[in-house]
Amino acid sequence: MGRNGHWIKCVFSAGFLLICIIVAPANAAPSLGTTFQTSSTEEESLTPLHTTPLLFNTMDVAPNVQQTPAITLPPRPSPGKTPKGSCSTPPDLPNSDVVSGWSEDIYKEGDLVTYACHSGFTDIQARSFSIVCESDHDSPGKLRWSSPYFLCQITCGRPENPANGFVEGKFYTFGSTVTFKCRRGYFVFGANNSTCQDDGNWDNLVPECREVECEKPPWVENAEAAFNIGDDKTITYECQPGFILDGNSTFQCLDDGTWGPKDHLPYCRPLLMCKHPPPIANALQLWSTRPSYELGTNVRYRCNPGYTVSRDSSYFIVCINIDGLAKWTPQKLKCQPKQCSFPGEIENGYFNGTNFMYGAKIVYHCNHGFIMGEKQMTRECMADGNWSPSSPVCEPVQCPEPREIPHGTITVPSSLIFDSVIQYRCNGKMQLMGPSLRTCQADSTWSGREPICMAVLCPPLKNIENGKWLGGEDTDSVVRFSCNEGFLLAGQSTATCLPNGQWSGYPPTCQPVCPPPTLDRYAAVPQIIRDKQYFTVGERVEFHCGGGYHGWSYTLVCNKWHTWQQVEKHFLYPLGWKCLAFCYRPTPNLNAVLARNYEHIDFYPVGKYAYFDCKLGYTSEAKGYYTKCLVDKRGETYWVPYKNVRCIAGRGWH
**Predicted pLDDT of residue 356:** 92
**Predicted pLDDT of residue 146:** 84
**Predicted pLDDT of residue 126:** 61
The residue among 19 and 167 whose pLDDT is bigger is: 167
**Predicted pLDDT of residue 456:** 79
Q: What percentage of the chain reaches a pLDDT higher than 70? A: 81
Q: CA-CA distance, 454 to 301, in Å (whole number)? A: 83
Full 3-state SS string of 113-162 = EEEEECCCEECCCCCEEEEEEEECCCCCCCEEECCCCCCCEEECCCCCCC
- pLDDT tens-digit series, residues 73-100: 333 344 456 777 789 888 888 788 888 8
Does residue 196 sit in helix, strand or coil?
Answer: strand
Flag whether pLDDT at 531 surpasses 70.
yes
Flag whether pLDDT at 339 surpasses 70.
yes
Q: What percentage of the chain reaches a pLDDT higher than 90? A: 23
Q: For 350, what's the count of Cα atoms within 13 Å in the CB-facing half-sphere?
A: 5
**Predicted pLDDT of residue 123:** 54
In the CATH hierarchy, which fold is given to the domain comprising 165-211?
A: Complement Module; domain 1 (2.10.70)
Q: CA-CA distance, 474 to 471, in Å (whole number)? A: 10
Please, what is the end-to-end C-alpha distance for the chain in angstroms? 208
Under 8 Å between Cβ of 609 and 639: no
Q: CA-CA distance, 513 to 82, in Å (whole number)? A: 160
Give CA angle at 111 (108, 116), nearest 5°. 140
Residue 206 makes CB contacts below 8 A (sequence gap 6+) with: 159, 160, 161, 162, 180, 190, 194
Determine the average pLDDT of the residues in 241-262.
Answer: 81
Least confident range from 114-118, 350-354, 649-653: namely 649-653
513-580 domain in CATH 1.10.8.60? no
**Predicted pLDDT of residue 412:** 94
**Predicted pLDDT of residue 265:** 83
> What is the number of other CB atoms lying within 10 angstroms of the CB of residue 29?
13
Q: CA-CA distance, 473 to 155, in Å (whole number)? A: 111
Which architecture characterizes domain 223-270 according to CATH?
Ribbon (2.10)
In the CATH hierarchy, which fold is given to the domain comprising 408-455?
A: Complement Module; domain 1 (2.10.70)
**183, amino acid identity:** R
Nearest CA-CA partner of 117 in 125, 105, 109:
125
Q: CA-CA distance, 89 to 80, in Å (whole number)? A: 9
**Predicted pLDDT of residue 22:** 44
Q: CA-CA distance, 108 to 133, in Å (whole number)? A: 7
Residue 86 makes CB contacts below 8 A (sequence gap 6+) with: 106, 107, 108, 133, 143
User: Given this structure, which CATH class describes domain 467-512?
Assistant: mainly beta
Q: CA-CA distance, 559 to 61, in Å (whole number)? A: 150
Q: How far is CA 634 from the centre of its chain?
A: 105
CA 619 to each of CA 232, 586, 609, 639, 642: distance values in angstroms, whole numbers, following the listed order: 165, 20, 20, 22, 15
Determine the average pLDDT of the residues in 128-148.
Answer: 84
**Predicted pLDDT of residue 369:** 92
On average, the pLDDT of the chain sits at 78
- pLDDT tens-digit series, residues 13-22: 333 334 444 4
Nearest CA-CA partner of 244 in 262, 223, 214:
223
Under 8 Å between Cβ of 410 and 451: no
Determine the average pLDDT of the residues in 27-51.
Answer: 37
Under 8 Å between Cβ of 509 and 490: yes
Determine the average pLDDT of the residues in 240-257.
Answer: 81
Q: Residue 594 has what DSSP assignment?
A: E
Burial 457-495 (b: 16+ CB within 10 A, else e): ebeeeeebebbebeeeeebeeebebebeeebbbeeeeeb
Task: Give the DSSP H or E segment for 182.
Answer: strand 177-182
Flag whether pLDDT at 574 surpasses 60.
no
What's the whole-model pTM score?
A: 0.33
Residue 184 makes CB contacts below 8 A (sequence gap 6+) with: 231, 232, 255
Determine the average pLDDT of the residues in 229-244.
Answer: 77
In the CATH hierarchy, which fold is given to the domain comprising 349-396?
A: Complement Module; domain 1 (2.10.70)
Q: CA-CA distance, 181 to 209, in Å (whole number)? A: 8
- pLDDT tens-digit series, residues 417-452: 999 999 999 988 788 889 999 999 999 999 999 999
Q: Residue 218 has what DSSP assignment?
A: P
Q: Residues in the chain, how many? A: 654
Full 3-state SS string of 77-123 = CCCCCCCCCCECCCCCCCCEEEEECCCCCCECCCCEEEEEECCCEEC
**Predicted pLDDT of residue 651:** 55
Residue 577 makes CB contacts below 8 A (sequence gap 6+) with: 520, 543, 554, 566, 569, 570, 571
Flag whether pLDDT at 30 surpasses 70.
no
- pLDDT tens-digit series, residues 577-619: 567 777 888 988 888 898 888 888 877 888 889 998 888 888 8
CA 540 to each of CA 324, 460, 544, 556, 566: distance values in angstroms, whole numbers, following the listed order: 136, 39, 13, 6, 10
Give 56's pLDDT tier (boundaries 50, 70, 90): very low
Determine the average pLDDT of the residues in 55-64.
Answer: 34
Nearest CA-CA partner of 500 in 458, 462, 472:
458
Q: Do 349-396 and 582-649 fold alike per CATH?
A: yes
Where are the chain's structural domains?
Answer: 165-211, 223-270, 274-337, 349-396, 408-455, 467-512, 513-580, 582-649
User: Given this structure, which CATH class describes domain 582-649?
Assistant: mainly beta
Q: Residue 495 has what DSSP assignment?
A: E
Determine the average pLDDT of the residues in 466-480.
Answer: 81
Q: CA-CA distance, 321 to 327, in Å (whole number)? A: 6
- pLDDT tens-digit series, residues 287-299: 767 777 888 889 9
Under 8 Å between Cβ of 87 and 98: no
**Predicted pLDDT of residue 577:** 54
- pLDDT tens-digit series, residues 205-228: 999 998 888 888 888 888 888 877
Q: CA-CA distance, 177 to 184, in Å (whole number)? A: 23
Determine the average pLDDT of the residues in 154-159.
Answer: 87
Under 8 Å between Cβ of 352 and 366: no
**511, amino acid identity:** Q
Out of 2.50.20.10, 3.40.1030.10, 2.10.70.10, 3.30.559.10, select the CATH number for domain 274-337. 2.10.70.10
Q: CA-CA distance, 185 to 232, in Å (whole number)? A: 7
Flag whether pLDDT at 26 surpasses 50.
no
